Protein backbone atom coordinates (compact mmCIF):
# COMPACT_ATOMS: atom_id res chain seq x y z
CA UNK A 1 0.00 0.00 0.00
CA UNK A 2 1.46 3.36 -0.86
CA UNK A 3 2.22 5.58 2.08
CA UNK A 4 -0.27 8.36 1.19
CA UNK A 5 -3.08 5.89 1.11
CA UNK A 6 -1.90 4.35 4.35
CA UNK A 7 -1.95 7.76 6.01
CA UNK A 8 -5.37 8.51 4.60
CA UNK A 9 -6.73 5.23 5.92
CA UNK A 10 -5.03 5.68 9.26
CA UNK A 11 -6.62 9.10 9.69
CA UNK A 12 -9.99 7.92 8.48
CA UNK A 13 -10.03 4.88 10.72
CA UNK A 14 -8.73 6.90 13.67
CA UNK A 15 -11.76 9.13 13.51
CA UNK A 16 -14.26 6.38 12.87
CA UNK A 17 -12.76 4.14 15.59
CA UNK A 18 -13.17 6.87 18.13
CA UNK A 19 -16.65 7.73 17.03
CA UNK A 20 -17.87 4.16 16.84
CA UNK A 21 -16.33 2.39 19.78
CA UNK A 22 -15.38 4.93 22.34
CA UNK A 23 -18.16 5.99 24.65
CA UNK A 24 -15.78 8.50 26.19
CA UNK A 25 -14.65 9.77 22.78
CA UNK A 26 -12.65 12.95 22.83
CA UNK A 27 -15.10 15.83 22.37
CA UNK A 28 -13.02 17.48 19.63
CA UNK A 29 -13.74 21.17 19.96
CA UNK A 30 -17.29 20.60 21.10
CA UNK A 31 -18.42 23.89 22.53
CA UNK A 32 -20.01 23.17 25.84
CA UNK A 33 -19.29 26.07 28.16
CA UNK A 34 -20.90 28.97 26.37
CA UNK A 35 -19.82 31.49 28.99
CA UNK A 36 -16.83 32.58 26.92
CA UNK A 37 -14.13 34.80 28.28
CA UNK A 38 -13.58 37.80 26.03
CA UNK A 39 -10.13 37.81 24.39
CA UNK A 40 -9.47 41.12 26.14
CA UNK A 41 -10.21 39.76 29.59
CA UNK A 42 -7.41 38.27 31.59
CA UNK A 43 -8.06 34.77 32.87
CA UNK A 44 -7.72 34.93 36.65
CA UNK A 45 -6.19 31.78 38.06
CA UNK A 46 -5.14 30.35 41.42
CA UNK A 47 -2.59 27.66 42.19
CA UNK A 48 -3.39 24.99 44.77
CA UNK A 49 -0.12 23.48 45.98
CA UNK A 50 2.76 25.98 45.83
CA UNK A 51 5.66 23.52 46.09
CA UNK A 52 8.32 22.95 43.43
CA UNK A 53 5.99 22.35 40.50
CA UNK A 54 3.45 24.90 41.76
CA UNK A 55 6.02 27.62 41.00
CA UNK A 56 6.97 26.09 37.64
CA UNK A 57 3.32 25.87 36.60
CA UNK A 58 2.43 29.34 37.85
CA UNK A 59 5.32 30.87 35.92
CA UNK A 60 4.48 28.93 32.75
CA UNK A 61 0.82 29.98 33.06
CA UNK A 62 1.91 33.61 33.35
CA UNK A 63 4.30 33.28 30.39
CA UNK A 64 1.43 32.08 28.22
CA UNK A 65 -0.05 35.60 28.35
CA UNK A 66 -3.47 37.05 29.11
CA UNK A 67 -3.53 35.57 32.60
CA UNK A 68 -3.39 36.92 36.13
CA UNK A 69 -2.23 34.99 39.21
CA UNK A 70 -4.59 36.04 42.00
CA UNK A 71 -4.52 33.39 44.73
CA UNK A 72 -2.61 30.44 46.11
CA UNK A 73 -3.31 27.68 48.61
CA UNK A 74 -0.73 25.59 50.40
CA UNK A 75 -0.53 23.68 53.66
CA UNK A 76 2.90 24.95 54.71
CA UNK A 77 3.10 28.58 55.85
CA UNK A 78 6.63 29.07 54.50
CA UNK A 79 5.35 28.38 51.01
CA UNK A 80 2.51 30.91 51.37
CA UNK A 81 5.07 33.48 52.50
CA UNK A 82 7.21 32.62 49.50
CA UNK A 83 4.25 33.30 47.19
CA UNK A 84 4.08 36.87 48.51
CA UNK A 85 7.87 37.26 48.15
CA UNK A 86 7.92 36.06 44.54
CA UNK A 87 4.57 37.26 43.11
CA UNK A 88 3.65 40.20 45.33
CA UNK A 89 1.67 40.93 48.48
CA UNK A 90 -1.58 41.34 46.59
CA UNK A 91 -1.78 37.59 45.82
CA UNK A 92 -4.35 36.11 48.23
CA UNK A 93 -2.96 33.15 50.18
CA UNK A 94 -4.67 30.55 52.30
CA UNK A 95 -4.07 27.12 53.80
CA UNK A 96 -7.58 26.04 52.79
CA UNK A 97 -8.18 25.60 49.03
CA UNK A 98 -11.93 25.86 49.60
CA UNK A 99 -11.43 29.60 50.25
CA UNK A 100 -10.28 29.79 46.63
CA UNK A 101 -13.11 27.73 45.20
CA UNK A 102 -15.76 29.96 46.77
CA UNK A 103 -14.37 33.09 45.09
CA UNK A 104 -16.43 33.99 42.02
CA UNK A 105 -13.66 36.14 40.51
CA UNK A 106 -11.36 33.15 39.91
CA UNK A 107 -11.81 31.44 36.53
CA UNK A 108 -9.31 28.59 36.70
CA UNK A 109 -7.28 26.61 39.22
CA UNK A 110 -4.04 24.70 38.86
CA UNK A 111 -4.04 21.55 41.01
CA UNK A 112 -0.38 20.97 41.91
CA UNK A 113 -0.66 19.02 45.14
CA UNK A 114 0.69 15.51 45.84
CA UNK A 115 -1.08 12.84 43.82
CA UNK A 116 -3.50 11.66 46.54
CA UNK A 117 -5.25 15.03 46.49
CA UNK A 118 -5.68 15.35 42.70
CA UNK A 119 -9.12 13.75 42.34
CA UNK A 120 -10.66 15.44 45.39
CA UNK A 121 -9.56 18.98 44.52
CA UNK A 122 -10.26 18.55 40.80
CA UNK A 123 -13.84 17.40 41.42
CA UNK A 124 -14.49 20.13 43.99
CA UNK A 125 -13.07 22.75 41.62
CA UNK A 126 -15.20 21.61 38.67
CA UNK A 127 -18.28 21.57 40.90
CA UNK A 128 -17.42 25.14 41.92
CA UNK A 129 -17.39 26.16 38.24
CA UNK A 130 -13.61 26.43 37.77
CA UNK A 131 -11.59 25.34 34.75
CA UNK A 132 -8.90 22.92 35.93
CA UNK A 133 -5.28 22.29 35.02
CA UNK A 134 -4.38 19.15 37.01
CA UNK A 135 -0.87 17.82 37.31
CA UNK A 136 0.02 14.30 36.24
CA UNK A 137 -0.76 11.59 37.06
CA UNK A 138 -4.42 12.55 36.84
CA UNK A 139 -5.33 10.24 39.73
CA UNK A 140 -3.67 8.34 42.56
CA UNK A 141 -5.63 5.09 42.04
CA UNK A 142 -7.20 3.56 38.92
CA UNK A 143 -10.65 3.47 40.52
CA UNK A 144 -10.69 7.28 40.80
CA UNK A 145 -10.40 7.98 37.08
CA UNK A 146 -13.90 7.57 35.70
CA UNK A 147 -15.43 9.77 38.43
CA UNK A 148 -13.09 12.61 37.45
CA UNK A 149 -14.11 12.18 33.80
CA UNK A 150 -17.79 12.21 34.78
CA UNK A 151 -17.32 15.35 36.89
CA UNK A 152 -15.54 17.03 33.99
CA UNK A 153 -18.27 16.12 31.48
CA UNK A 154 -20.98 17.28 33.84
CA UNK A 155 -19.23 20.59 34.48
CA UNK A 156 -18.68 21.59 30.84
CA UNK A 157 -15.43 23.22 31.99
CA UNK A 158 -12.08 23.02 30.25
CA UNK A 159 -9.47 20.64 31.68
CA UNK A 160 -5.86 19.98 30.89
CA UNK A 161 -3.63 17.33 32.48
CA UNK A 162 -0.05 18.41 33.05
CA UNK A 163 2.31 16.25 30.99
CA UNK A 164 3.62 19.32 29.23
CA UNK A 165 6.26 17.58 27.08
CA UNK A 166 3.62 16.65 24.51
CA UNK A 167 3.31 20.35 23.73
CA UNK A 168 6.96 20.52 22.64
CA UNK A 169 7.98 21.03 19.01
CA UNK A 170 9.93 17.76 19.06
CA UNK A 171 6.96 15.64 20.18
CA UNK A 172 4.76 17.33 17.57
CA UNK A 173 7.35 16.46 14.91
CA UNK A 174 7.46 12.84 16.13
CA UNK A 175 3.68 12.71 15.78
CA UNK A 176 3.78 14.21 12.30
CA UNK A 177 6.38 11.71 11.07
CA UNK A 178 4.65 8.73 12.67
CA UNK A 179 1.25 9.69 11.30
CA UNK A 180 2.79 10.18 7.83
CA UNK A 181 3.70 6.46 7.91
CA UNK A 182 7.45 7.14 7.92
CA UNK A 183 8.41 4.13 10.06
CA UNK A 184 5.92 1.65 8.61
CA UNK A 185 4.02 -0.52 11.06
CA UNK A 186 4.92 0.05 14.69
CA UNK A 187 6.09 -3.06 16.59
CA UNK A 188 8.14 -1.91 19.59
CA UNK A 189 8.66 1.12 21.84
CA UNK A 190 11.17 1.69 24.56
CA UNK A 191 11.38 4.71 26.77
CA UNK A 192 13.30 5.43 29.93
CA UNK A 193 14.02 8.06 32.54
CA UNK A 194 17.09 7.13 34.58
CA UNK A 195 18.77 9.28 37.24
CA UNK A 196 21.49 9.02 39.83
CA UNK A 197 21.41 11.80 42.38
CA UNK A 198 19.61 12.40 45.68
CA UNK A 199 17.35 15.20 44.49
CA UNK A 200 16.51 13.30 41.31
CA UNK A 201 15.57 10.39 43.59
CA UNK A 202 13.10 12.73 45.34
CA UNK A 203 15.06 13.52 48.51
CA UNK A 204 14.12 17.18 48.43
CA UNK A 205 15.27 19.66 51.10
CA UNK A 206 13.20 19.84 54.28
CA UNK A 207 12.84 23.30 55.90
CA UNK A 208 14.20 23.63 59.44
CA UNK A 209 10.92 25.03 60.80
CA UNK A 210 8.75 22.08 59.62
CA UNK A 211 6.32 21.23 62.44
CA UNK A 212 2.62 20.77 63.10
CA UNK A 213 2.35 24.46 63.89
CA UNK A 214 3.85 25.64 60.57
CA UNK A 215 1.93 23.18 58.40
CA UNK A 216 -1.44 21.42 58.31
CA UNK A 217 -0.48 17.75 58.75
CA UNK A 218 -4.03 16.41 59.19
CA UNK A 219 -5.22 17.95 55.93
CA UNK A 220 -2.10 16.73 54.14
CA UNK A 221 -3.01 13.15 55.09
CA UNK A 222 -6.39 13.52 53.37
CA UNK A 223 -7.66 10.06 52.41
CA UNK A 224 -4.36 8.39 53.42
CA UNK A 225 -4.02 6.38 56.65
CA UNK A 226 -3.60 8.47 59.82
CA UNK A 227 0.08 8.62 60.84
CA UNK A 228 2.07 10.69 63.35
CA UNK A 229 3.71 13.83 61.94
CA UNK A 230 6.76 13.08 59.82
CA UNK A 231 8.38 15.91 57.88
CA UNK A 232 9.87 13.40 55.44
CA UNK A 233 6.41 12.19 54.49
CA UNK A 234 5.24 15.76 53.96
CA UNK A 235 8.20 17.10 51.97
CA UNK A 236 9.28 13.83 50.30
CA UNK A 237 5.80 12.40 49.76
CA UNK A 238 6.76 10.72 46.46
CA UNK A 239 8.66 8.08 48.44
CA UNK A 240 5.45 6.73 49.98
CA UNK A 241 2.63 5.09 48.10
CA UNK A 242 0.02 6.56 50.47
CA UNK A 243 0.52 9.94 48.75
CA UNK A 244 2.52 9.32 45.57
CA UNK A 245 2.51 6.85 42.70
CA UNK A 246 6.16 5.74 42.61
CA UNK A 247 8.38 5.92 39.58
CA UNK A 248 5.54 4.62 37.38
CA UNK A 249 2.99 7.31 38.25
CA UNK A 250 5.60 10.02 38.49
CA UNK A 251 7.80 9.30 35.46
CA UNK A 252 6.43 6.46 33.32
CA UNK A 253 3.38 8.67 32.93
CA UNK A 254 5.43 11.23 30.98
CA UNK A 255 6.84 8.48 28.77
CA UNK A 256 3.54 6.78 28.02
CA UNK A 257 1.79 10.12 27.44
CA UNK A 258 4.35 10.93 24.76
CA UNK A 259 3.81 7.59 23.02
CA UNK A 260 0.01 7.90 23.19
CA UNK A 261 0.24 11.43 21.78
CA UNK A 262 2.45 10.36 18.86
CA UNK A 263 0.58 7.16 17.96
CA UNK A 264 -3.02 8.10 18.91
CA UNK A 265 -3.31 4.70 20.58
CA UNK A 266 -5.96 4.15 23.24
CA UNK A 267 -3.65 2.00 25.36
CA UNK A 268 -2.33 -1.43 26.29
CA UNK A 269 -4.21 -4.59 27.25
CA UNK A 270 -1.63 -6.51 29.28
CA UNK A 271 0.82 -5.02 31.76
CA UNK A 272 3.63 -6.64 33.72
CA UNK A 273 6.31 -5.08 35.96
CA UNK A 274 9.43 -6.15 37.75
CA UNK A 275 11.52 -4.00 40.06
CA UNK A 276 13.50 -3.59 43.25
CA UNK A 277 14.72 -1.12 45.84
CA UNK A 278 18.37 -0.99 44.96
CA UNK A 279 20.05 2.11 46.41
CA UNK A 280 17.72 4.59 48.13
CA UNK A 281 17.02 2.51 51.24
CA UNK A 282 15.90 5.54 53.22
CA UNK A 283 12.52 4.31 54.45
CA UNK A 284 10.70 4.66 51.13
CA UNK A 285 8.15 2.00 50.25
CA UNK A 286 8.41 2.26 46.46
CA UNK A 287 11.04 0.71 44.16
CA UNK A 288 13.89 2.77 42.69
CA UNK A 289 14.42 0.43 39.73
CA UNK A 290 11.43 -0.64 37.71
CA UNK A 291 10.89 -2.18 34.27
CA UNK A 292 7.44 -2.71 32.79
CA UNK A 293 6.23 -4.40 29.63
CA UNK A 294 2.97 -3.15 28.16
CA UNK A 295 1.32 -5.05 25.33
CA UNK A 296 -0.71 -2.97 22.87
CA UNK A 297 -3.29 -4.81 20.76
CA UNK A 298 -3.74 -4.31 17.03
CA UNK A 299 -6.44 -1.76 16.27
CA UNK A 300 -7.82 -0.01 13.21
CA UNK A 301 -5.16 2.67 13.60
CA UNK A 302 -2.00 0.76 14.53
CA UNK A 303 -0.51 -2.72 14.50
CA UNK A 304 0.15 -4.54 17.76
CA UNK A 305 3.31 -3.53 19.60
CA UNK A 306 5.27 -4.04 22.80
CA UNK A 307 6.36 -1.16 25.01
CA UNK A 308 9.12 -1.38 27.59
CA UNK A 309 9.36 1.42 30.15
CA UNK A 310 12.25 1.80 32.59
CA UNK A 311 13.29 4.02 35.46
CA UNK A 312 16.58 3.36 37.25
CA UNK A 313 17.34 5.83 40.05
CA UNK A 314 20.62 4.02 40.70
CA UNK A 315 22.08 4.14 37.21
CA UNK A 316 25.73 4.89 37.86
CA UNK A 317 26.46 4.07 34.23
CA UNK A 318 25.85 6.20 31.16
CA UNK A 319 22.42 7.80 31.15
CA UNK A 320 20.71 8.40 27.80
CA UNK A 321 17.03 9.10 28.37
CA UNK A 322 14.85 9.07 25.28
CA UNK A 323 11.95 7.35 23.55
CA UNK A 324 12.43 5.04 20.57
CA UNK A 325 9.42 4.09 18.47
CA UNK A 326 10.35 1.29 16.12
CA UNK A 327 8.48 0.15 13.06
CA UNK A 328 8.96 -2.15 10.08
CA UNK A 329 10.49 0.67 7.99
CA UNK A 330 12.37 2.77 10.51
CA UNK A 331 12.67 4.31 13.92
CA UNK A 332 11.87 7.64 15.56
CA UNK A 333 14.14 8.40 18.50
CA UNK A 334 13.29 11.58 20.38
CA UNK A 335 13.50 13.72 23.49
CA UNK A 336 11.85 17.03 24.26
CA UNK A 337 14.64 18.84 22.42
CA UNK A 338 15.54 16.76 19.40
CA UNK A 339 14.59 13.88 17.19
CA UNK A 340 16.23 11.47 14.80
CA UNK A 341 14.24 9.56 12.19
CA UNK A 342 16.08 6.63 10.63
CA UNK A 343 14.44 4.95 7.64
CA UNK A 344 15.47 1.50 6.54
CA UNK A 345 13.53 -0.59 4.07
CA UNK A 346 14.53 -4.14 3.23
CA UNK A 347 14.73 -5.15 -0.44
CA UNK A 348 12.30 -7.78 -1.63
CA UNK A 349 15.09 -10.24 -2.46
CA UNK A 350 16.39 -12.04 0.64
CA UNK A 351 19.96 -12.45 -0.67
CA UNK A 352 22.17 -15.49 -0.30
CA UNK A 353 25.76 -16.33 0.54
CA UNK A 354 27.85 -14.99 3.38
CA UNK A 355 26.80 -16.52 6.71
CA UNK A 356 24.24 -18.67 4.98
CA UNK A 357 23.55 -22.33 4.22
CA UNK A 358 24.15 -21.67 0.47
CA UNK A 359 27.89 -22.21 0.95
CA UNK A 360 27.27 -25.66 2.33
CA UNK A 361 25.46 -26.83 -0.84
CA UNK A 362 27.22 -28.92 -3.50
CA UNK A 363 28.48 -27.02 -6.58
CA UNK A 364 25.69 -28.48 -8.65
CA UNK A 365 23.07 -27.43 -6.12
CA UNK A 366 24.56 -23.94 -5.80
CA UNK A 367 24.26 -23.50 -9.59
CA UNK A 368 20.65 -24.68 -9.59
CA UNK A 369 19.80 -22.47 -6.59
CA UNK A 370 21.33 -19.41 -8.31
CA UNK A 371 19.37 -20.09 -11.50
CA UNK A 372 16.08 -20.19 -9.64
CA UNK A 373 16.98 -17.19 -7.50
CA UNK A 374 17.83 -15.07 -10.58
CA UNK A 375 14.51 -15.99 -12.16
CA UNK A 376 12.58 -15.17 -9.00
CA UNK A 377 14.38 -11.95 -8.00
CA UNK A 378 15.22 -9.61 -10.89
CA UNK A 379 17.84 -6.90 -10.36
CA UNK A 380 15.36 -4.22 -9.28
CA UNK A 381 14.18 -6.30 -6.28
CA UNK A 382 17.68 -6.65 -4.88
CA UNK A 383 18.58 -3.11 -3.91
CA UNK A 384 17.88 -1.87 -0.40
CA UNK A 385 16.91 1.77 -0.17
CA UNK A 386 19.85 3.57 1.37
CA UNK A 387 19.38 4.23 5.10
CA UNK A 388 18.00 7.73 5.47
CA UNK A 389 18.37 9.91 8.52
CA UNK A 390 16.35 13.02 9.24
CA UNK A 391 17.28 15.17 12.21
CA UNK A 392 15.09 17.67 13.98
CA UNK A 393 16.22 20.11 16.65
CA UNK A 394 13.62 22.12 18.51
CA UNK A 395 14.01 25.88 18.13
CA UNK A 396 15.77 27.48 21.13
CA UNK A 397 12.66 29.47 22.02
CA UNK A 398 10.45 26.36 22.13
CA UNK A 399 8.65 26.42 25.51
CA UNK A 400 6.54 23.28 25.93
CA UNK A 401 5.36 24.20 29.39
CA UNK A 402 4.11 27.59 28.25
CA UNK A 403 2.51 26.04 25.14
CA UNK A 404 0.68 23.47 27.28
CA UNK A 405 -0.82 26.26 29.36
CA UNK A 406 -1.58 28.33 26.27
CA UNK A 407 -3.59 25.42 24.88
CA UNK A 408 -5.51 25.25 28.19
CA UNK A 409 -6.24 28.98 28.32
CA UNK A 410 -7.01 29.28 24.57
CA UNK A 411 -9.61 26.53 24.96
CA UNK A 412 -11.14 28.31 27.96
CA UNK A 413 -11.42 31.48 25.85
CA UNK A 414 -13.12 29.55 23.05
CA UNK A 415 -15.46 27.83 25.46
CA UNK A 416 -14.03 24.53 24.21
CA UNK A 417 -13.20 21.24 25.92
CA UNK A 418 -10.74 20.15 23.23
CA UNK A 419 -7.40 20.47 25.01
CA UNK A 420 -4.45 18.36 23.89
CA UNK A 421 -4.51 16.38 27.17
CA UNK A 422 -8.09 16.23 28.39
CA UNK A 423 -9.09 13.89 31.24
CA UNK A 424 -9.98 11.01 28.90
CA UNK A 425 -6.52 11.16 27.36
CA UNK A 426 -5.03 11.80 30.83
CA UNK A 427 -6.67 8.75 32.34
CA UNK A 428 -5.76 6.52 29.40
CA UNK A 429 -2.13 7.38 30.19
CA UNK A 430 -2.42 7.29 34.00
CA UNK A 431 -4.30 3.99 34.35
CA UNK A 432 -1.74 1.75 32.59
CA UNK A 433 1.15 3.19 34.61
CA UNK A 434 -0.82 2.79 37.84
CA UNK A 435 -1.38 -0.78 36.64
CA UNK A 436 2.44 -1.09 36.38
CA UNK A 437 2.48 -0.44 40.14
CA UNK A 438 -0.30 -2.96 40.78
CA UNK A 439 1.64 -5.56 38.79
CA UNK A 440 4.79 -4.91 40.83
CA UNK A 441 3.14 -4.84 44.25
CA UNK A 442 0.70 -7.71 43.59
CA UNK A 443 3.16 -9.73 41.49
CA UNK A 444 0.75 -10.44 38.65
CA UNK A 445 -0.14 -9.52 35.08
CA UNK A 446 -2.77 -6.76 34.92
CA UNK A 447 -5.43 -6.83 32.20
CA UNK A 448 -6.83 -3.51 31.06
CA UNK A 449 -9.59 -2.53 28.65
CA UNK A 450 -8.24 0.60 26.95
CA UNK A 451 -11.53 1.39 25.19
CA UNK A 452 -13.86 1.15 28.20
CA UNK A 453 -11.05 2.28 30.54
CA UNK A 454 -11.71 -0.54 33.00
CA UNK A 455 -9.64 -3.29 34.62
CA UNK A 456 -10.40 -6.74 33.23
CA UNK A 457 -10.23 -10.07 34.99
CA UNK A 458 -7.15 -12.06 33.92
**Could you tell me whether strands 330-334 and 270-276 are parallel, antiparallel, or unpaired per DSSP bridges?**
unpaired
Query: Does residue 49 touch ligand NAD according to CB under 6 A?
Result: yes
Choice between 69 and 237, CB closer to ligand NAD: 237
Binding test (CB under 6 A) with ligand NAD, winner from 64, 67, 113, 239 = 113
Q: How far is CA 243 from the centre of its chain?
A: 19
- The 163-202 contact track toward ligand NAD, x by CB under 6 A, reads xx--------------------------------------
189 contacts 260 by C-beta, under 8 angstroms: no
Q: Which contiguous run of DSSP H or E holds residue 22? A: none
Measured CA to CA, the distance from residue 254 to residue 334 in angstroms comes to 13
Measured CA to CA, the distance from residue 409 to residue 38 in angstroms comes to 12
Binding test (CB under 6 A) with ligand NAD, winner from 33, 119, 250, 421 = 250
Choice between 54 and 184, CB closer to ligand NAD: 54
In 207-283 the beta strands, taken as DSSP E runs, fall at: 270-276
Measured CA to CA, the distance from residue 236 to residue 218 in angstroms comes to 16
Query: Does residue 258 touch ligand NAD according to CB under 6 A?
Result: no
Choice between 75 and 435, CB closer to ligand NAD: 75
CA geometry: angle at 58 spanning 52 and 62, to 5°? 150
Stretch that binds ligand NAD, among 36-44, 108-116, 359-367, 450-458 (CB under 6 A): 108-116
Binding test (CB under 6 A) with ligand NAD, winner from 24, 43, 45, 54 = 54
Choice between 124 and 146, CB closer to ligand NAD: 124
Query: Does residue 135 touch ligand NAD according to CB under 6 A?
Result: yes
Binding test (CB under 6 A) with ligand NAD, winner from 46, 51, 108, 296 = 51
Q: Which long-range contacts (CB under 8 A, 24 or more apart) does 118-125 make?
A: 119/144, 119/147, 119/148, 120/222, 120/223, 121/48, 121/97, 122/148, 122/151, 122/159, 123/147, 123/148, 123/151, 124/97, 124/98, 125/48, 125/101
Q: In what order do the strands lie in the sheet with 131-134?
A: 92-94, 67-73, 43-48, 108-111, 131-134, 159-161
Binding test (CB under 6 A) with ligand NAD, winner from 117, 296, 305, 425 = 117
Give min distance, CB of 13 to ligand NAD, in A: 31
Give min distance, CB of 244 to ligand NAD, in A: 8
- The 85-104 contact track toward ligand NAD, x by CB under 6 A, reads ------------x-------
Choice between 26 and 120, CB closer to ligand NAD: 120
Q: Which residues make up the interface to ligand NAD (CB under 6 A)?
A: 48-54, 73-76, 79, 97, 112-115, 117, 135-136, 162-164, 219-220, 237, 250
Amino acid sequence: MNSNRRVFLRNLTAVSALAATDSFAKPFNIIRDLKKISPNDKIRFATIGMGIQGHQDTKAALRSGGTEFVAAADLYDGRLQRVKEVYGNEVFTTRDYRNILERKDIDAVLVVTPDHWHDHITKASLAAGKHVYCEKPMVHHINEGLSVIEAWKKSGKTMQIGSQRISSASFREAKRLFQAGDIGDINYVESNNDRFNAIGAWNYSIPTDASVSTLDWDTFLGDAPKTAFDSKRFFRWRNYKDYGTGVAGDLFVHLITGVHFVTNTLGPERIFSSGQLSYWKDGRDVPDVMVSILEYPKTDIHSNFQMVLRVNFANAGAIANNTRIIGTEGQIEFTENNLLLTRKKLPKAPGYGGYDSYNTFSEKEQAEFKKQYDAQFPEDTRKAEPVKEVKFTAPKEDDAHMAHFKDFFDNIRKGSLGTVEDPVFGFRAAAPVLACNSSYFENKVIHWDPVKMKLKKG
